[in-house]
Structure 1
Amino acid sequence: MISPADFPKPSFVPVNGVELEVFEMGRQNAGKPIVLCHGWPEHAYSWRYQMPALAAAGYHVIAPNQRGYGNSSCPAEVTAYDINHLSGDLIALLDHYGYEDAIFVGHDWGANVVWGLTLLHPDRVKQVINLALPYQARTEKPWIEFIEEFFGSDHYFVHFNRQPGVADAVLDENTSRFLGNMFRRNVPPAPPEPGMMMINLARAEAPLGDPLMSDAELAVFISAFEKTGFMSSINWYRNIDRNWHILADVDPVIQKPALMIYGDRDLIPKSENLTDFVPRADVVSLDCGHWIQQEMPEETNRAILRWLQRQDAA
C-alpha cells in the first residue's frame, strides 16, 4: 500500500481544453501503458494498491483525476462531462505521452467511461479491464427514463437529473460524513430506506459495515471534495441521456479482449448477457462489495496480472 505521503506527486497535463492532475508510476515509453480510471465519488488514490504492482510488472501506470475531480479542471457547463469529452480527455492523454493505444482499467463510473471510450475509439484501446460495472447495453428509451420506470424518482440517477443541485448541496454540507459512510466494507444487506440513497448516506449517523480505509486515507478523498464540491462529478450523471444519444449510431459490440471483475456482494448486478456485447470477455468474481480494488487489493492485482500475462502469451 502507498500511504498518502508516499503517493506519487502529480503532474498537470493540458488535454482537450482542460487540465488533468495525473499520477504516474513505472517507466514512460516502456511500451506498456496502462491507464486507471476511477469511479464516483473517488480519486486516483483509489488505485494506490494497483499502481506499485503494475509498475513492478513493467507497465507505465497513468492514473488521472478525471475532469471534475481533485485538482483537475472542473468546467461549469453540464455538457462538458459527456462521453465525448470524458473519452476525449483520455485520448488526448495518450497523445501527450506519445502512445498509439493503451490498456484501460475502470472502476464504477470509470468503467462506464472505458466502455464508452472503447466504443468510440476502438483503435486507441488495446485491452479493457473493468471493475464493478459491466457493459450496459443501450436501452430502447433514454436511460434516465428507463431507470425511473423501474426504480422510481428517488433512484439517485433520476434524482440527480430531475432535481439538479439538491443532492449536490446536501453532500457539500456533509462531505466528511458522506464519504465516511460511503466507503464501507462488509455491509450487511438492508432494505432500502425511503428517499434518495445518497442524501440518506450523507445524513446517516450510524453507517452499516466497517470502514474501508484509515482516517489518513479517507482524508485524501475528503480534502479533494471539500475543494471541488460534488456538482462537477455529479454532472457526469446529468449526461447519461446525452450519452445515450451520442452512442445511438455506434456499433454496440466491443471486440477488444476484456476482463470483467465483479464483487459478489456488490449491489450492482452482474450482467447476464455480457458476452453478447463483449464476446472476448473473461470474468472474475471476488468475495467483496463495491470497492473491489480497495477491499481485496492483492486478489485484484493477481487477477489483473494473470489475465494480462495470458493476453501477452496469446
Structure 2
Amino acid sequence: MELKNEMIQAGGIRLNVITAGPKGVPPVVLLHGFPERALSWRDYIELLANHGFFVIAPEQRGYGHSERPGKVSDYRMECLSLDIVHVMNHYQIKKANLIGHDWGCAVGWFLITIYPERFNKALLLSSPHWEVFRKHLLLNPSQALKSWYMFAIQFPKLPELFISAHNFKFFGEAIKKSAFNAPYPESELVALKKEWKEKSSMTFMLNWYRAMKDLKEKSPKEKISVPVTLVWGARDPFLQKKMAEDSLALCEKGQFILLENTGHWPHHENKIELSTLMLSLFGV
C-alpha cells in the first residue's frame, strides 16, 4: 500500500499529512502523541487502508515537517484541534472515525467534545479527558507526582538541554522503560532521534505542555455523544487508571479496555489486539 506524503494548508498553518487508501471510502484520522510522528502509525495506516479506509495521519503543528509557530499560545488545545478540523475540510470529509494516542488522544477528547458532529466513533489511547486530568493534577497528589515532568517542562530551555543530552540517550531510555508488554521499537526510536536532531523541533513539541495552563475551554454540560473506546495500559507509569474511569463517565457510550502488563504505548506493545480492535470497531 502506497503512502502519500503532502504539505497542505490547514487554516492558517501548513501541515505535513500522510494519507493512504482511496478517497471516497470511510475515513479514519490518526493523531500521534508526544514525542512521536505521523509515521509512528505506519503499520496501522497500511492495515486500515488495506481494509478499505481512507486514512489521514497529520504531523501535528510543531512536529517534523509541519509548521512550527513560535509562541507558546499557538499550541493551545483550541488551535491544535482546529488544525484537525481544517485537515478534514481540506479532504472534504464531513465525518470521520478518530484514533489518537497520548497528546493525540488529548486532542481527540477535545475534538469529540467540541465538534461531535464531525466524528462517528473514537478509539482513544492513554490519555484522559482534559477536565478530568486538570482535576486530578490539582486534587490527586499521587497523579501530580506521576506528572512531575509536566511541571518541569514549564521552565524555558533547561528541559530541552536535558532531553537532547548525549543524543537523547536518557530520554530514549525513559521511553523504553515505559513499555512493558513488548519493547519500544528500536527502529522507530532511531528515526525519531534523527528527526528531533535535524528539525530542532523539541522546543515546539514541548510547547504543547507549556500551553496547558492557557486552556480555558469548559466541557459542555451534556455528555459526549460520540461513542468512545478508551484503551489504557495497566502499567502506564504516567497516568492512573482512575482518570480513565472518570473520563468515560463523561460519555453517553463508553467502552474501557485495560491491557494488562502494558505501559504507555499500546499501539506498539499490543499490535495484534489493537489491529483487531480497530477493524471490529470501525465495521470490518
Say which of 144, 157, 164 aligns to 1:172: 164
Q: Which secondary structure state, in structure 1, belongs to the residue aligned with residue 58 of structure 2?
A: strand
Larger radius of gyration: 1
Q: Is the 8 A contact 1:27 1:59 kept in 2?
A: yes
CA offsets, 1:177-233, max 9 Å, x none? 145313326857xxxxxxxxxxxxxxxxxxxx974113x332221122111331101
CA shift for structure 1 position 273? 2.9
CA distance 1:149–1:305, shift in 2 (3 Å) = closer
**Following superposition of structure 1 onto structure 2, how do residues 131-170 of structure 1 map, counting pairs within 5 Å?**
131-138=125-132, 151=144, 155-161=148-154, 163-170=155-162
Q: 2:182 and 2:249 mapped to 1: Cα distance?
A: 37
Say which of 161, 169, 188 aligns to 1:217: 188
CA offsets, 1:127-183, max 9 Å, x none? 111011133435787x8656789636981111112x222102222334431453133
Q: 2:258 and 2:191 mapped to 1: Cα distance?
A: 28
Q: Is the 8 A contact 1:258 1:282 kept in 2?
A: yes
Q: Is the 8 A contact 2:3 2:20 kept in 1?
A: yes
Aligned to 1:277: 250
- Gaps of at least 5 residues in structure 2 are none
CA offsets, 1:258-288, max 9 Å, x none? 1111122212222233432013011222232
Q: Is the 8 A contact 1:184 1:210 kept in 2?
A: no
Q: Is the 8 A contact 1:139 1:146 kept in 2?
A: no
**Following superposition of structure 1 onto structure 2, how do residues 66-215 of structure 1 map, counting pairs within 5 Å?**
66-138=60-132, 151=144, 155-161=148-154, 163-184=155-176, 211-214=183-186
Residues 1:259 and 2:229 are matched in the alignment = yes
Aligned to 2:201: 229
Residues 1:23 and 2:30 are matched in the alignment = no
Q: Is the 8 A contact 1:47 1:294 kept in 2?
A: no
TM-score (norm 2): 0.88
Q: Is the 8 A contact 1:144 1:157 kept in 2?
A: no
- % same residue: 28
Q: 2:42 and 2:179 mapped to 1: Cα distance?
A: 22
CA distance 1:280–1:222, shift in 2 (3 Å) = same
Q: Which secondary structure state, in structure 2, belongs to the residue aligned with residue 272 of structure 1?
A: helix
CA shift for structure 1 position 292? 0.8
Q: Which secondary structure state, in structure 2, belongs to the residue aligned with residue 248 of structure 1?
A: coil
Q: Is the 8 A contact 2:33 2:102 kept in 1?
A: yes
Q: 2:41 and 2:9 mapped to 1: Cα distance?
A: 22
Q: Which secondary structure state, in structure 2, belongs to the residue aligned with residue 137 of structure 1?
A: helix
CA distance 1:150–1:114, shift in 2 (3 Å) = closer
What one-letter code is carried by the residue in structure 2 that aligns with 1:230? M
CA shift for structure 1 position 103? 1.0
TM-score (norm 1): 0.80
What one-letter code is carried by the residue in structure 2 that aligns with 1:127? K
Q: Is the 8 A contact 2:15 2:61 kept in 1?
A: yes
Q: 1:171 and 1:255 mapped to 2: Cα distance?
A: 39
Q: 2:147 and 2:40 mapped to 1: Cα distance?
A: 28
- Gaps of at least 5 residues in structure 1 are 1-5, 189-208
Q: 1:139 and 1:301 mapped to 2: Cα distance?
A: 27
Q: 2:279 and 2:103 mapped to 1: Cα distance?
A: 22
Q: 1:186 and 1:80 mapped to 2: Cα distance?
A: 29
CA distance 1:250–1:186, shift in 2 (3 Å) = closer
The range that moved more, 120-129 or 269-278, is 269-278
